[in-house]
Structure 1
Amino acid sequence: MDQNTVQDRPRADADSDRQDVEGIATPLVAPTLPLQGGKNSASPNNGIARSFTRKGELLSRKLSRLAEEVWAPEQTKQLRPFQTQEVAALLGVTERYVRQMANELEIPKADAKPVGRRVWTLDEISRLRIHLDAKSPGRYLPHRREGEHIQVLNFATFKGGSGKSTQAVHAAQYFALRGYRVLAIDLDPQASLTTMLGVTPELHVGPQESLFGAISFQDDGDPTKLGEGRGPRPMREVIRQTYFTGLDLVPASLELAEFETESPRALMLRHPSPFFTRISSAIDQVADDYDIVVLDSPPQLGFITMAGLYASTGLVVTVHPQMIDVASMAQFMTLAGSLMEVLEGQGGRTVPLDFEKILVTRHTPSDQPQMAVVTFLRSLFRTDVLTATMVNSTAVADCGLARQTLYEAVRDSSNKRTYDRALQSMDGVNAELEAEVLRVWHRTNHRAED
């Protein structure tokens, strides 16, 4: 499919753009009218509400058009194939044994072009994993066992641009690649996690199809009407499979912002289902289907962030190693602690986190001021700061522009070293998080036998 640029669009579209722009620009230069008292003020039609609304509608309309041209609505995101060497590393077996199992399972051979080497889809890797686990139960499928509770990992911060969503999507894919059953839930109306997993909110997420559909107060927040309205949708109805085998998604959209206005009304009307329990209750509906849930929280402390914190078993706070970002993290932790204390005092349970970690992101190890900040954090919080860091890399940025992760990108000779260095960093972070999960489950590693 051709990827049309703005300049490539038909002249009619360009003329339409100019008309739309002229339509929003004219009111900005309209003369002011005298009001009582001799003071001048802009016409009501020139206020910020009208101006921002029209600009926002124009921008959304044009972005949707561009998205339809570059990423057609019927187009689905596809995951690259994996080399035999990668498959062997993921499964912990030799390449020869991988090929032997393929013959046993009669998996048809697919060759990578133009090299001609055999490649594998993630579905085929999953078949191999199931085949291995049938011979050694519990060794190759690290699913939860009896007595092991679901792990809900929440990636949160108070400041945008810290790499929170980037780390969240990489963690979700990392766990899926290792055989865990993973559910990614996007709590951020900006929907970065949703977009990275191949879903464009403007095109693919309709009303009540985001997380909002499963947690909203559709009975109008009136306890006397509880059960009379439609009520929230079952969680399973808003979960969708992704192109990434083993990883499901509950998407976000701008509709999710309505939770911030519904929740205070529900509090005022003393709704019997408090806002802070809505996400945990939704997860409970599908907990038996998953081992790991990854939450991507918005960079603010609103109602949905608090509900996400209440549902969490593990918390990962991302921070860029600059003092202004560290100060923002201090505010986040202080305010979050105060708010959660209020919730606990209002009848909420004490949230028992299995672990909480600080993750240094966008890190440049050769930058001395950054290293000083990292050393400062480690001196204060010691093992609560992950040993691995998410390095600042052009490979991560390039993948983001293509709406890909490092696990999806295809290496070539021009970027192989940069890619490998970034992937090693990301794997290091995710391996530490996996170790925390296994520690909670009292396992040495995910291949430990019963």
Structure 2
Amino acid sequence: MSSNQRNDGEIGATQFAEAERIGQLAEAGELMVERLRKTAFLPGEIKGLNVRLGVAEAAQLLGCSTNRIRMAEDDGRLPAPPESETGRRLGYDIPALLNMRKVLGASPQRAPEDPPAIITVQNFKGGVGKSTVTTHLAHYLAVQGYRVLVVDCDSQATTTTLFGFNPHFAITREETLYPYLSIEPTQDDLSYAVKHTAWPNVDLIPSNLQMFDVEYELAATGTGGGNVLASRFRKLRQGLAELAQNYDVVLLDPPPALGTISLAVMQAANALLVPLAATTPDFCSTVQFLSMLNQVISQLKEAGIRVEYDFCRLICSKFATNDPSHALIQSLMEKTFGGALLPVPMLESAEISHAALRMMTIYELEKPVGTPKTHKRCRNNIDEAMGQIEQLIRRRWGRVESEPSALMMAAG
């Protein structure tokens, strides 16, 4: 055997060994994710919600005075919050806050005749904060008192992980959208997949890596059976519309790529939210996404599949106030997209990063991770940014509160 043949054989064996290492890396990574999950959710392995609010914050959220809450406690309509051993009031948890809304008539929930908002948070570029926007919006709406369903349609399952479920160890394919969307479905409606989360008014349909099987099946069918593909599109739209009757808002988190699931989600929604970061590559890719989206909608229309949105908005999801290039790109966005760009961006913050490390959002932190000032600035920004989307939802129901002039421009 020549030296060249030996070298080729050695190289081939090395390449094969390196390819095999991918599986080892994936397994090691999954075990580490599970360790992080257990550490983040101690003392138990199930994610809990330990946030408590003072009476002033509760009153602000309910739009009433602190005196009204205390009077309701005095006359027995509301239970007083628990106290510490020293008699200090520990504050209200989220279930107590929801009960307050019910007792004091401060629920924002839609009327039976109001259509649920089904919002897809979509961009074909990864790394734009799609799952971060989805989970923060879900938790913001939960704090405000809305009933929320989050549907994770992405096989990467980042949103599922943020809600405290390990997609590799804890979620099976039968618990995802797969049994409903597969070519040989075993479920006729989506109720089987709904899971309760740590939030009493937020439910989740989880995802995992096996959701990609739907992509394979539908893509294969699409090459020679467009009618089957179209029927699956209609089926997801119908299933979500039926399930949405139990909620005020449904948030859809599709894959960051143009595939059959993304197309199905796109036409199942009645509103579109596009997150993008304040960088030139993200701006350019989002322009391409919008152009591609326009073409796809036209093609779906020709195929008899309707795509109708009550609102289409873009939100800058990662904005650094101390970066001049971000300010430049934001100005470019404003000139390009006008009122379709929501005026308040989500700021880049160490608090969000620290919360994500604990598999949480800013709304789940019991106390600031960094300085109280940084936490407060971050929380105020997220409240304002998510509040813009809440106002768009409420406008859809004919409930328009007074808004800042910039927000009125965005919502018009």
CA contact (8 A) 1:175 1:182 kept: yes
Task: Give the Cα separation in 2 of the matches to 1:437 and 1:214.
Answer: 28
Contact between 1:217 and 1:232, CA under 8 Å: does it hold in 2?
no
Q: Determine if contact 2:38/2:45 at 8 Å carries over to the other structure.
A: no
Q: 1:412 to 1:345 in 2, by over 3 A?
A: closer
Say if 1:39 and 1:247 are closer, same or farther in 2 by CA, change over 3 A: closer
* Secondary structure class of the residue paired with 2:155: coil
For 1:346 and 1:48, the matched residues in 2 are separated by: 45
- Between 1:43-52 and 1:427-436, the stretch displaced more is 43-52
Q: Secondary structure at the match of 2:184?
A: coil
1:315 aligns with 2:275: no
User: Is 1:53 aligned with 2:9?
Assistant: no
Alignment of 1:40-439 (within 5 A): 42-43=12-13, 46=16, 50-61=20-31, 63-64=33-34, 67=37, 75-79=45-49, 80-103=51-74, 104-105=76-77, 107-111=79-83, 116-133=88-105, 140-219=106-185, 231-232=186-187, 234-267=189-222, 268-269=224-225, 270-271=227-228, 274-349=231-306, 351-412=307-368, 415-439=371-395
Identity of aligned residues (%): 24
Q: Is the 8 A contact 1:32 1:40 kept in 2?
A: no
C-alpha contact 2:173 2:211 (8 A) present in aligned 1: no
Is contact 2:116–2:249 with CA below 8 Å preserved after alignment?
yes
Distance 2:35 2:89 in 1: 39
Aligned to 2:409: none
Query: Cα gap change, 1:282/1:57 in structure 2, threshold over 3 Å: closer, same or farther?
Result: same
CA contact (8 A) 2:274 2:313 kept: yes
Structure 1 residues 218 and 111: CA distance shift in structure 2, 3 A: farther
Change (3 A) 1:232 1:265: farther
Equivalent pair of 1:213/1:238 in contact (CA under 8 Å): no
Give, in whole Å, the separation in 1 of the partners of 2:311 and 2:84: 42
The 2-side partners of 1:63 and 1:198 are apart by: 11
The one-letter amino acid of 1:302's match is: G
Paired residues in the alignment total 396
Secondary structure, in 3 states, of the residue corresponding to 2:176? coil
1:255-291 per-position Cα deviation (integer Å, ceiling 9, x unaligned): 1111110112332244275333343222123122011
Deviation, 1:189, is 1.4
Counterpart Cα distance in 1 of 2:12 and 2:43: 42
Q: Aligned pair in 2 of structure 1 residues 254, 390: CA closer, same or farther (>3 Å)?
A: same
Question: Relative to structure 2, which stretch is displaced further, 251-260 or 382-391?
Answer: 251-260
C-alpha separation in 1, matches of 2:36 and 2:314? 38
In structure 2, give the amino acid aligned to 1:249.
Answer: L
Normalising by structure 2, we get a TM-score of 0.87
Deviation at 1:335, TM superposition (A): 1.7
Aligned equivalents of 1:112, 1:352: Cα separation in 2: 53
**Could you tell which deviates more after superposition, 330-339 or 58-67?**
58-67
| Pair 419,105 (structure 1): closer, same or farther in 2 beyond 3 Å | same
Post-superposition CA distance 1:74-125 (Å, at most 9, x none)? 6222212222222111111112221222342352531368892341121111
Relative to structure 1, the CA distance from residue 345 to residue 51 in structure 2 (aligned partners, 3 Å threshold; closer, same or farther) is: farther
Offset of residue 71 of structure 1: 5.1
Tell me, what secondary structure is at the counterpart of 2:115? coil
Q: 1:415 to 1:40 in 2, by over 3 A?
A: closer
Distance 1:62 1:192, change over 3 A: closer
Which ranges of structure 1 fall in alignment gaps of 5 or more residues? 1-30, 134-139, 220-230
SS of residue matched to 1:374: helix
Please list the CA deviations of residues 214-255 of structure 1 after superposition, one character each: whole Å capped at 9, or x if unmatched: 322225xxxxxxxxxxx3353111101111121111111111
- Matched-pair contact (CA < 8 Å) for 2:37–2:164: no
**Match for 2:296: what amino acid?**
L
Distance in structure 1 (CA, Å) of the matches to 2:292 and 2:248? 30
Larger deviation, residues 302-311 vs 142-151: 142-151
Say if 1:246 and 1:69 are closer, same or farther in 2 by CA, change over 3 A. closer
Determine if contact 1:156/1:296 at 8 Å carries over to the other structure. yes
Partners of 1:287 and 1:413 in 2: CA distance:
35
Could you say what secondary structure the match of 2:353 adopts? helix
Q: Which amino acid aligns with 1:244?
A: W
Q: Structure 2: 5+ residue runs without aligned partners? A: 403-412
Name the CA shift for 1:440/1:63 in 2 (closer, same or farther; >3 Å). closer
Give the distance between the partners of 2:366 and 2:265, measured in 1 at CA.
34
Between structure 1 and structure 2, the one with the greater Rg is 1
CA RMSD of aligned residues (A): 2.8
- What is the alpha-carbon distance in structure 2 between the residues aligned to residue 33 and residue 112 of structure 1? 77
Maintained 8 Å contact 1:32/1:41: no
Higher mean alpha-carbon deviation, 44-53 vs 167-176, is at 44-53
Question: Tell me, what secondary structure is at the counterpart of 2:322?
Answer: coil
SS in 1 for 2:156: coil
Q: Is the 8 A contact 2:37 2:359 kept in 1?
A: no
Between the aligned partners of 1:40 and 1:78, the Cα distance in structure 2 is 52
Whether the 8 Å contact between 2:34 and 2:166 is mirrored in structure 1 is: no
Tell me how far apart the structure 1 counterparts of residues 195 and 91 of structure 2 sit (CA, whole Å). 27
Distance 1:390 1:272, change over 3 A: closer
Distance 1:344 1:95 in 2: 53
